[in-house]
Structure 1
Amino acid sequence: MQWDNLRIFLAVARSESLSGAGKVLRVDPATVGRRIARLEERLGAALFGKSPQGYAMTDAGQRLLIHAERAEQAMTAALEELQGQPGTLSGQIRIGAPDGCANYLLPQVCTQIMDANPELEVQIVALPRVVNLSRREADMAIGVSPPATGRLLVQKITDYRLHLAASRAYLKNHPPIQRLEDLQRHRVIGYIPDMIFDKELDYLTEIGVQRVAMASNSVSVQFNWLRKAGGIGVVHDFAIPSGHGIQKVLPQLISLTRSFYLIRHADDRRLDRLNRFAAALCDGLRAEVARLEAQS
């Protein structure tokens, strides 16, 4: 079986549509459909069930998926060995991360890695949800809790801290905050409650805040509300240095600790390029969190 056929099969399996596969492959969706039909005819089995919701793999498709992913890993490893330059990283690597990490840590960390590896291309997918590695939305992901299922490599990167914070302008023009109960007289900024995708992000419930007056599923939106004197909220310590005039509130009473985890496909442990990038990424994140928290 030709690798090109498996490559098209994998694209349809991961995107669950001909149009999605066509975008990934840069091929017309009709061509993708014809290639899948010929592959099914050659194998004598239907690989996908077609419905208004898209293309779902059949049992035969699920069985082929295992072998197709192994072939993909072998092809990737071969290309790395043939094209790579000793001691340097090249090619494209995509990282998925929650937007707090993606906005306030990854740009500077990845820039340092790319400065040392000029042929490297890095894509950062900032999503306020868990990145789906099984669909190859990214080569690796950063999460705030270790996944409980799946064939994955999970490595703890570092702990990080969060505190209540507000702008000096907001605090100057609103009642003083000396106790936790005083928050009831203030606008609280936080996540939209029904869009919290990980229990580790439910900071306000943990500290006993019931009402969120200004809510967003984006950490960046929340942080910009703080910068514009919109209210008070829980902030990553590593973000505080980037917000002029942001200061901690009740740090002696409220201090939260969370962790970042690097999550990868289990089969990728054999890919030297990804292993070296992952090591550099983890080292860089640890150093950057420590540097920024010391300034907060």
Structure 2
Amino acid sequence: MNEPEWTDFRFFLEVARTGKVSSAGERPGVEHSTVSRRINRLEQSLGSVLFDRRRNGFYLTDAGKALVPHAERMENALLGALEEHMSQSTVVYGTVRVGTPEAFGIHVLAPSIVELNAQQPDLHVELMAQPQFPSLVTREVQNATYPSGLGFHPRRCHKVSPITARIGPTTTVYGTNSTKQHAKR
């Protein structure tokens, strides 16, 4: 068995996230044929079929699904090392998309983003209100906020802010049988 290369795992994750070899090559800037060769090489070196190749895309096999968390840990270790190395530099730039429930984005994240923008003017944060929870796997967003206790297992988890909300009836009555409910902080 040949030892797999990190770049093969990188392409594996891109195909797992996008479901298409052509899309997986766009971000790293390579042709779909290169991605396909890397996937074939990884499967050969592991002795396992990772994708079910269909006309409408690539679908993870059980072996591929089992490999995803390991490959993501490798990716996180590499990104963590790069982040640690780059933390010596104080300039941050680029664009980051953050998907979040609307109220949390407005009341918790937006004020922090204003402060962050004052410190890092070359960093552009796109705050995206999401009616549903955005997918990190398909890269709809690079960062997402979720209420705790929903069973999500994000790559990295940080408590941002405690939020409590209560819903209960008020004394305001509309018609004969209905009560108005509102959230209290």
TM-score (norm 2): 0.71
Structure 2 residue matching 1:133: 3-state secondary structure: coil
- Count of residues in correspondence between the two structures: 177
User: Is the counterpart of residue 49 in structure 1 residue 34 in structure 2?
Assistant: no
Structure 1 residue corresponding to 2:41, chosen from 29, 33, 38: 38
Indicate the residue corresponding to 2:17 in structure 1.
14
User: Is the counterpart of residue 157 in structure 1 residue 161 in structure 2?
Assistant: yes
Structure 1 residue corresponding to 2:149, chosen from 143, 146, 163: 146
Structure 1 residue matching 2:98: 3-state secondary structure: strand
Deviation at 1:49, TM superposition (A): 0.8
Deviation at 1:113, TM superposition (A): 0.9
Distance 1:146 1:113 in 2: 28
Distance 2:55 2:17 in 1: 17
Structure 2 residue matching 1:129: 3-state secondary structure: coil
User: Which range moves more in the overlay, 148-157 or 40-49?
Assistant: 148-157
Structure 2 residue corresponding to 1:78, chosen from 76, 81, 93: 81
Does structure 2 conserve the Cα–Cα contact (< 8 Å) formed by 1:91 and 1:121? yes
Greater relative CO, 1 or 2 (CA 8 Å, sep 6+):
1
Structure 1 residue matching 2:12: 3-state secondary structure: helix
Deviation at 1:48, TM superposition (A): 0.5
Does structure 2 conserve the Cα–Cα contact (< 8 Å) formed by 1:96 and 1:124? yes
**1:24-68 deviation digits (Å, cap 9, x = unpaired):** 333333432232123223333211012355322123223332321
RMSD of aligned Cα (Å): 3.6
Larger CA Rg, structure 1 vs 2: 1
Give the residue type in structure 2 aligned to 1:90.
V
Structure 1 residue matching 2:44: 3-state secondary structure: helix
- Give unmatched runs, 5+ long, in structure 1: 164-177, 184-206, 209-252, 259-296
Give the residue type in structure 1 aligned to 2:161.
I
Q: For the structure 1 residues 154 and 118, does the alpha-carbon distance in structure 2 shift closer, same or farther, using more than 3 Å as the test? A: closer
Distance 1:180 1:28 in 2: 64
Indicate the residue corresponding to 1:181 in structure 2.
174
Deviation at 1:121, TM superposition (A): 4.4
Distance 1:75 1:150 in 2: 19
Give the residue type in structure 2 aligned to 1:181.
Y
What does residue range 1-296 of structure 1 map to in structure 2 within 5 Å?
A: 1-52=4-55, 54-85=57-88, 88=90, 90=92, 93-102=96-105, 106-118=109-121, 120-144=123-147, 146-150=149-153, 153=157, 155=159, 157-159=161-163, 179-182=172-175, 254-257=181-184
Q: For the structure 1 residues 66 and 104, does the alpha-carbon distance in structure 2 shift closer, same or farther, using more than 3 Å as the test? A: closer
**1:250-276 deviation digits (Å, cap 9, x = unpaired):** xxx643147xxxxxxxxxxxxxxxxxx
Deviation at 1:15, TM superposition (A): 1.7
Distance 2:174 2:98 in 1: 40
Structure 2 residue matching 1:159: 3-state secondary structure: coil
Structure 2 residue matching 1:50: 3-state secondary structure: strand
Q: For the structure 1 residues 75 and 154, does the alpha-carbon distance in structure 2 shift closer, same or farther, using more than 3 Å as the test? A: closer
Higher helix share: 1
Deviation at 1:136, TM superposition (A): 4.5
Distance 2:29 2:54 in 1: 23
Structure 1 residue matching 2:144: 3-state secondary structure: strand
Deviation at 1:97, TM superposition (A): 0.9
Structure 2 residue matching 1:180: 3-state secondary structure: strand
Distance 1:110 1:91 in 2: 14
Deviation at 1:75, TM superposition (A): 0.8
